[in-house]
Structure 1
Amino acid sequence: MTAGQTVSGRLASAAAAVARDGLSGELRHDVARRVLDVLGNSLAAVDQPAARAVSTVVAAWGGAGQATVIGGGPRLPAATAALVGGTLAHSLDFDDTHLPSVLHPSSSVVPAALAVAEATGGTGHALLDAAGMGIEVTVRLGMGGYDRRLGNSVFFDRGQHATSICGAVGSAVAAAMLMGLDEKGIADAIGIAASMGAGLLEANRTGGTVKRMHCGWAAHSGVVAAELARSGLTGPPTVIEGRFGFLHAFCGDQADVDAVVAGLGVEWELPGIFFKPYPCNHFTHAGIDAALRLRADGVTPDDVVELELGVPTPVLRTIAEPPEAKARPESGYHAAFSGPFTVASALVGGGGLGVGHEDFTDEASRDERRLALAAKVRCVPDARCDEIFPNQFPAVVRALLRDGSRREVRVDVNRGGPGNPLSADELAQKFRTNASHRLDGADAAKVAEAAYALPTGGSVSRLMSLVGS
């Protein structure tokens, strides 16, 4: 790090440069795909209980109608619309993932950017530039909490939801850019938002729906932080690297300050962020792919005597513990965080791109065929998976069959990332499936067209009008 420059100052300087000069065409196109992905995930979640709970609460808050609510309803103040939007975006755990930070950056930043862009009359270019920079800041902060010696996120190891903690700051950067704040104003927004980020991961283990609104709170916090900075509130200049700053407070001596700014403005994390093919915790995806391969090879649930799911050791806490809860999840949402249930669903036969929303309904979580198969799954640490994690979330499935034979399928590279990307057709299928919960085929096509028009001057207000009815 250059002497005399604080981390928030360098982040603000890079953001101001992007606001002035714009992202490259390639990066703008990448962000446009993420905007469409967030909108699809959000449309699919409109009727989820957590989203309804947040919408009910904010309806009583009032305020000027500045921004559209995805899925319909009265227009809301930008910060409130961001709260609803971020909750929707993260509710089904279908949001994009950065590795190895294990962050879902778009689900907070994109809703914040959409709300502020609409409220301020921002252009499509401005939206993409702000969202892209906000996403970049989010994952770089996440990398500041990644311990290379442990091969794991310090945030995650301590039970902290880095997605929402770092997402509050990234959302503030995006919001500040769209509000036209100068470099100092952006730095102040960062400094303010750093006091707002929060989120615990215990719900992944033992239940509760609060995690679904973490990205909403991060988006809301980011917009509020930018509004406060615009009105004169200031943040500490050393808020990221200081003794009582962001990284030390959350990660202690394991924080890597230099990782936040290394190659800033030149090397972009943004294009390498994974799109999810399945609406469930990302740690379960390689196990799903392995089970799908077994199914494609002719293995049926009735053939199975026992299954062993090998995963990286740190993953066990999320998808395998406590074992009794993972074998019989209490709801469809909790089923999405279960290694045994997701493997069983893939073998039974799922929807979507192999496993879909219908596999994570409350009714599906009570399906005795799935539960009987899930009870045969034993989750274990796997040495090879440990070597690869968290640059990928690998898995191996070993099956003992009734005829006495054994099968093993190992998946080292996740679908949806640079090493195994989703095709344009697969991304389109994912959006259509998500959007079908609220839109017919023709209207879904209009949303996709409007999102992909953003890099060439498309209208933010038109895009939001299509998803707000």
Structure 2
Amino acid sequence: MSTAVALLGDFAAKVRAEGLPPELRADAARRVLDVLGNSLAATAEAPAKAVGALVAEWGGAGRSTALGHAAPLPEPSAALLNGTLAHSLDFDDTHLPSVLHPSASVVPAALAVAEARGASGAQLLDAIGVGVEIAVRVGMAGYDPGLGNSVFFERGLHATAICGALGGAAAAAMLSGLAADGVAHALGIAASMGSGLLEANRTGGTVKRVHCGWAAHAAVTAAGLARTGLTGPPTVLEGRFGLLQAFCGDKYHLEPLLDGLGERWELPGIFFKPYPCNHFTHAGIDAARRLRARGLDVTAIERIDLGAPTPVLRTIGEPREDKIRPSSGYHAAFSGPYTVAAALLGGGGLGLFHEDFTDAAAADPARLALAAKVHCAPDARCDEIFPHQFPAVLRVTLTSGEVLEERVDVNRGGPGDPLTADELALKFRLNATRLLTDVEADEVTARTYGLPDAPDLTAFTRALRAPASR
């Protein structure tokens, strides 16, 4: 029988030969636009500057566009920088219930190789579609239905970085012209390279922002090594010392990885984020916005109780002292109390936006005073729904004794409550115009949506380099 990685290689080779259906190419183009907007908005962030300085030190002959840089970089360096940008603001798309952010690794890896290898727009989108699909399916292999959570997550592992390296490697291998066995080898090599720990979500540090960049860098490197003759183990996923056993022990399942492969696609159901913060906070934000729309007077609040799924509280509610007084704007993005307070006081963009997660905003006395009134606790109904959605319930006790409640069971941005085309366009424009002019943002949008028919990526990448050339 074929091994799991061999079947994934066959899947990639078939799509490479036949192409994705038009609706999936269109969805992949939306993923590209979302990643580009999130990335353009992050070019001034400290992690981007740190990675940019490092890749400048590395040097090398450049063939791939790096956002914010006028000159091209070597493919692994461009993937590292662009992947770091894509995940820096925690605004990237999310797959449930694997709790993965697949596009932030796969798109940068695919872009770097596609440009260097002279791919067409359709070839780029086909590779992205396959890479995202493989990433989330590997993530689903590590989802334990009995536990109701990702085993990766339970063990403190960042599945996005681990699985994103594999998905990115498949995309990069396809764009490198590798056949099915070459894609399988790229996956087998990348499985030794993906890594990431989630402790920074709890107690600080900026290393998590580079996880998707390193996954993209590993993906490009793995595909290159496969192209030049390195091989990976045929049982790299299901073997005794394979990736799934190593990371998940005996709690992994191969069925979600392989069942319906190429027939049932996860890609269209991946959630776009309306807010630039940890996805676990979003339902609480929406509940707060609903209460605010009902006319809630924040000055009359005595206490706020935020109910959420039990596993979520380790990220957004603990340690309580850190969550009610986040140490920076970035850490505020992982705080249930802070995000609820910010939403109750009003925010930018589609509800909350980047200005709500600056260091100054995180230190705002009014927000901190309101955040200190928020108490996080498990909620039984939320536990039943999680992780197919990230629900929340908000109960506000007023000084009069009255209690107001809003429950959000379905996350905004997913199939049950999708962002409209206008909302996605607004998200991109608000992101992109932190660096691009309105005219440049419009051109990038048009070039991205035109990728299915683009014979090459020359005009597309030229538009991305425009702001750095000014």
Q: TM-score, normalised to structure 1's length? A: 0.99
Among the aligned pairs, what percent are the same residue?
A: 65
1:405 offset after TM fit, Å? Answer: 1.1
Offset at 1:73?
Answer: 3.6
Answer yes or no: is 1:60 the counterpart of 2:57: yes
Secondary structure of the residue aligned to 2:84 is helix
Is the CA contact 1:93–1:280 (under 8 Å) kept in the aligned structure 2? yes
The aligned residue for residue 193 of structure 1 is: 190
Match of 2:98 in 1: 101
Match of 2:387 in 1: 390
Question: Structure 1 residue 16 and structure 2 residue 13: aligned?
Answer: yes
Structure 1 unmatched runs, 5+: none
**Secondary structure of the residue that 1:295 maps to in structure 2?**
helix
Structure 2 counterpart of 1:232 = 229
CA contact (8 A) 1:70 1:464 kept: no
The whole-number CA distance in structure 1 between the counterparts of 2:429 and 2:42 is 14
Work out the CA distance in 2 between the residues paired with 1:464 and 1:93.
24
Q: How does 1:173-322 map to 2 (within 5 A)?
A: 173-322=170-319
Q: Which residue in the other structure is 1:353 paired with? A: 350
CA distance in 2, matches of 1:460, 1:207: 39
- C-alpha distance after superposition, 1:245-296 (max 9, x if no partner): 0100000000112211111010000000000000000000000000000110
- Out of 91, 108, 113, the residue aligned to residue 111 of structure 1 is 108
Q: How many residues align?
A: 466
Determine if contact 1:72/1:467 at 8 Å carries over to the other structure. Answer: no
**Which segments of 5 or more consecutive residues in structure 2 lack a partner in the other structure?**
none
> Does residue 172 in structure 1 map to residue 169 in structure 2?
yes
**Contact 1:451–1:463 (CA under 8 A) maintained in structure 2:** yes
Structure 2 residue matching 1:229: 3-state secondary structure: helix
Distance, in Å, in 2 between the alignment partners of 1:183 and 1:10 is 9
Q: Which residue of 1 aligns with 2:431?
A: 434
Alpha-carbon displacement from aligned partner over 1:406-446 (angstroms, at most 9, x marks no partner): 10000000000000000000000000000011011111011
1:456 shift after superposition? 2.5
Match of 2:156 in 1: 159
Runs of 4+ in 1 over 4 A off after TM superposition: none
How far apart are the structure 2 equivalents of 1:305 and 1:462?
A: 56
Question: Residue 197 of structure 2 aligns to which amino acid in structure 1?
Answer: L
Residue 300 of structure 1 contacts residue 347 of structure 1 at CA under 8 Å; is this kept in 2?
no
Distance 1:309 1:73 in 2: 46
- Aligned-partner SS, 1:72: coil
Give the equivalent residue in structure 2 for 1:79: 76
2:143 is aligned to 146
Q: Partner of 2:24 in structure 1?
A: 27
Distance in 2 between the 1:288 and 1:260 partners?
33
Secondary structure of the corresponding residue to residue 303 of structure 2: strand
Kept after mapping to 2: 8 A contact 1:15/1:173:
yes
2:391 and 2:16 map into 1 onto residues whose CA distance is: 38
Select the residue among 38, 47, 50 that pairs with 2:47: 50
2 CA distance for matches of 1:195 and 1:152? Answer: 24
Q: SS where residue 58 of structure 2 aligns?
A: coil
8 Å contact 1:114–1:460 — kept in the other structure? Answer: no
- RMSD between aligned residues: 0.7
Distance 2:319 2:226 in 1: 44
How far off its partner does 1:459 sit? Answer: 4.1
Aligned with 1:416 (options 413, 416, 427): 413
Q: Aligned partner of 2:336: which letter?
A: G
